[in-house]
Amino acid sequence: MSDLLAHIDGPDDLKRLYVVQLPALAEEIRAALLRYCAAKGGHIGSNLGMVEATIALHYVFDSPADRIIFDVSHQSYVHKMLTGRRRAFTDEALFGSATGFTNPDESEHDPFVLGHTGTSVSLACGMAKARDLMGGSNNVVAVIGDGSLSSAVAFEGLNEAAELDSNLIIVFNDNEMSIAEDHGGMYAGLAELRATNGESPHNLFRDMGLDYRYVEDGNDVAALVRAFEDVKDCDHATVVHIHTLKGKGLDVAEEGRVESNHWHNPTPAADAAPALPNARKTYGGMAMDALAARFDAEPGLLVISPATPGSNGITREWRAAAGRHYIDTGIAEEHAVAFAAGLGRAGGMPVLATSATFFQRAYDEIHQEFALNNAPGTLLVFSGGISGADNTHSGAGDVMMFGNVPGLTCLAPTSGDEMLRMLAWATGPARRPVAIRMPGEAVLAGERGGTYPRFVARDVAQTADSAVADSMSMSAGSARKSGAVSVDDIAATSVADDPWARYTVTRAGSQVAVLGLGNAYPLAEEAAVALDGAGVKTTVVDPHQYSTLDTATLEALRERHTVVVTIEDGQLEGGWGGKIAAYYGGGPMRVLNFGARKEVTDRIPLDALRRRYRLTAGDIADAALTALRG
């Protein structure tokens, strides 16, 4: 075994090798990636497929003078290893010191923070135009692939690139995969290009006015070096289409087309207990099973995933059984939301599932095509709230984003059963645009461990009028049933046409009322227990939703309370709690809002974020007691 990698601390060290040595380096890097992902976890599949291509890029081009933009940048691990960050992937003590995506704060070799997809060509066009305007002569390279070509903005960039009339190199990593299988008509044309060694007349790149060359073996480093040398310093936009094997180096059964090689969790210890599914897979699976039971009776019911299905509990087995009731649009969130709006307006019932930060990419379509047109449909929003994720996947802005879209009903369940009831209502009698913020890890831990109580508190309800009393008892009294949830169940318990418009008092008290939104509800219960210990019997409220205020319940709280505390696990500014503070205004009711600052965090442990934002039971109880005394 060679020891070439240990001596590479930057691209200049790589360039000292002979081309015949590069395959040995590729094998060292591949072995290091496998060790790293076994210990740390990560996006293994695309990186294993891109080993040779990344070596060839840095062997031929001169980063950072030549700008190399990775998209999706989760396939940049090898790039990082070759640009001074090798030990972050080879030294176990430093595992995790480099983020899983490109980031200029780490290295001058990373032009952008990129955790989403499809934008590299547009970014490259901008960098190339700036170079031309200011008399530069460097190469600009966009590396796109692993399903990112299906993103709509990628085609906008390709369209612009054809008219740039100067140096721009687009390396298309074609591994025949997205996160799951690739979907869409263009992939048939790409398959034809692969089958004809790039000679097919049906060539979408040439049709868009781009020069083109094909490399059949995208894991042959010498062939890639030759191809990149041929296009270096070109005076026009050129596509280099490379055919790679996603997951190359994994066990044969995992290579290529197996979805699980996109992301690998760390290998568990031999004596470790089996890992339980996380909240996304747990609650996503529950939702999918509930919908699947209705497919035969409801031909217009359709589940839509803009890629990432497995992350959200949409398993391969479920997809196979769902048949025409499921569609993967590829990494195309804007299209997915507009598609859902079209389906809903035509009489169907779409359910669109993806992450909070991926929905950001479709904000205009959510606002215009979906909500403005009152299109019936349901958005299942996963991974909302603060988290220890990197700065491109932090969902802390989801309540602020969704909750301020006119016409969009935004629900925040605090249990799996409540989520199912909300889903049944949203896909049944609601006939309106609905977003359901899927329960997170705090709710799941509470449900698995039984760590927070839920019971009807009727003494607070008795202080309000009968309509408020009904609203306060409805959810806690009737919405905790076990078993399957049907649309008929929902219709029978509706308050007007929306059973979730009213808040539920789940724990009765006086002086202090704590309202915990969705995933923050368990913390509201914990804060109440802490206040109980200080002699203040505390009211706890489950708001259920964050698109409107239940002013009747808020008014009812005035009678026996002087402090209202709101808790949300997301950005306070523009969020939910601030609206309650504004409602009470400058009157005698003191309102304390707890949530996140307006900031983007990067891989900060969740416990540290909770301390930073005072999202702990002790902090909340102390603040409430201080407000009472003041």
pLDDT tens, position by position, 197-219? 999 999 999 999 999 999 999 99
Q: Whole-model pTM?
A: 0.88
Of 63-77, 243-257, 281-295, which gets the smallest average pLDDT?
A: 243-257
Q: Please report the pLDDT score of residue 262 as a whole number.
A: 61
Residues pairing with 508 in the sheet: none
CA distances from 393 to 104, 116, 365 (A): 17, 8, 20
CB 115 within 8 A of CB 92: no
Q: How far apart are CA 164 and CA 130, in angstroms?
A: 11
Q: Please report the pLDDT score of residue 305 as a whole number.
A: 96
DSSP state of 429: T
| Token pair in block for residue 2 | 């060679």
Residue 459 has pLDDT above 70, yes or no: no
pLDDT-based confidence at 383, cuts 50/70/90? very high
Of 330-334, 381-385, 531-535, which gets the smallest average pLDDT?
A: 330-334
Q: How far apart are CA 109 and CA 382, in angstroms?
A: 32
pLDDT-based confidence at 530, cuts 50/70/90? very high
| Token pair in block for residue 263 | 């992301």
Q: Please report the pLDDT score of residue 482 as a whole number.
A: 30
Q: How far apart are CA 346 and CA 327, in angstroms?
A: 17
| Token pair in block for residue 452 | 């927070």
Residue with the larger pLDDT of the pair 67 and 458: 67
Q: How far apart are CA 238 and CA 53, in angstroms?
A: 16
CB 246 within 8 A of CB 49: yes
Q: Please report the pLDDT score of residue 471 as a whole number.
A: 32
Residue 380 has pLDDT above 90, yes or no: yes
CA distances from 36 to 33, 86, 276 (A): 5, 11, 22
Residues pairing with 593 in the sheet: 566
Residues pairing with 426 in the sheet: none
Q: Please report the pLDDT score of residue 147 as a whole number.
A: 78
Residue 256 has pLDDT above 50, yes or no: no
pLDDT-based confidence at 268, cuts 50/70/90? confident
pLDDT-based confidence at 485, cuts 50/70/90? very low
CB 418 within 8 A of CB 490: no
Instruction: Give the type of residue at 187.
Output: Y
Of 62-66, 296-300, 481-485, which gets the smallest average pLDDT?
A: 481-485
| Token pair in block for residue 393 | 């996947």
| Token pair in block for residue 536 | 């203040």
Question: What is the average per-residue pLDDT within 509-524?
Answer: 97
Count other Cβ atoms within 10 Å, centred on residue 104: 11
Count other Cβ atoms within 10 Å, centred on residue 317: 8
Of 260-264, 313-317, 426-430, which gets the smallest average pLDDT?
A: 260-264
CA-based radius of gyration for the chain: 27
| Token pair in block for residue 468 | 């408020």
Average pLDDT along the chain:
89
Of 369-373, 425-429, 478-482, 521-525, which gets the smallest average pLDDT?
A: 478-482
Question: What is the average per-residue pLDDT within 421-448?
Answer: 96
Residue 242 has pLDDT above 60, yes or no: yes
Residue 248 has pLDDT above 80, yes or no: yes
Listed ranges 107-121, 237-251, 307-321, 566-580; the one with the highest mean pLDDT: 566-580
Q: How far apart are CA 164 and CA 232, in angstroms?
A: 16
Percent of the chain exceeding pLDDT 90 equals 77
CA distances from 556 to 457, 494, 530, 550 (A): 13, 21, 24, 10
Question: What does DSSP say about strands 237-243 and 211-215: parallel, antiparallel, or unpaired?
Answer: parallel
Q: How far apart are CA 478 and CA 92, in angstroms?
A: 52
Residue 589 has pLDDT above 70, yes or no: yes
Q: Please report the pLDDT score of residue 487 as a whole number.
A: 46
pLDDT-based confidence at 494, cuts 50/70/90? very low
Q: Please report the pLDDT score of residue 498 as a whole number.
A: 86
Instruction: Give the type of residue at 348.
Output: G
pLDDT-based confidence at 478, cuts 50/70/90? very low
pLDDT-based confidence at 57, cuts 50/70/90? very high
Edge-first strand order for the sheet with 349-355 is: 326-328, 301-305, 349-355, 377-382, 433-437, 409-411
Residue 185 has pLDDT above 90, yes or no: no
CB 142 within 8 A of CB 168: yes
Residues in the chain: 630
Return the residue matching tokens 């190469």: 139
Q: Please report the pLDDT score of residue 114 as a whole number.
A: 85
Q: Please report the pLDDT score of residue 179 as a whole number.
A: 62
Residue 468 has pLDDT above 50, yes or no: no
pLDDT-based confidence at 484, cuts 50/70/90? very low
Q: Please report the pLDDT score of residue 495 as a whole number.
A: 45
Q: Please report the pLDDT score of residue 152 as a whole number.
A: 85
By C-alpha distance, which of 283, 407, 438, 412 is closest to 344?
407
By C-alpha distance, which of 50, 104, 90 is closest to 74?
50
SS3 234: coil
Question: What is the average per-residue pLDDT within 384-404?
Answer: 94
Q: Please report the pLDDT score of residue 72 as a whole number.
A: 80
Residue with the larger pLDDT of the pair 116 and 163: 163
Question: What is the average per-residue pLDDT within 45-52?
Answer: 92
Q: Please report the pLDDT score of residue 66 as a whole number.
A: 98
Percent of the chain exceeding pLDDT 70 equals 90
In a 10 Å sphere around its CB, with 0-12 CB exposed, 13-18 middle and 19+ buried, how is residue 12 labelled?
exposed
| Token pair in block for residue 580 | 């309650």
pLDDT-based confidence at 127, cuts 50/70/90? very high
By C-alpha distance, which of 476, 614, 583, 612 is closest to 539?
476
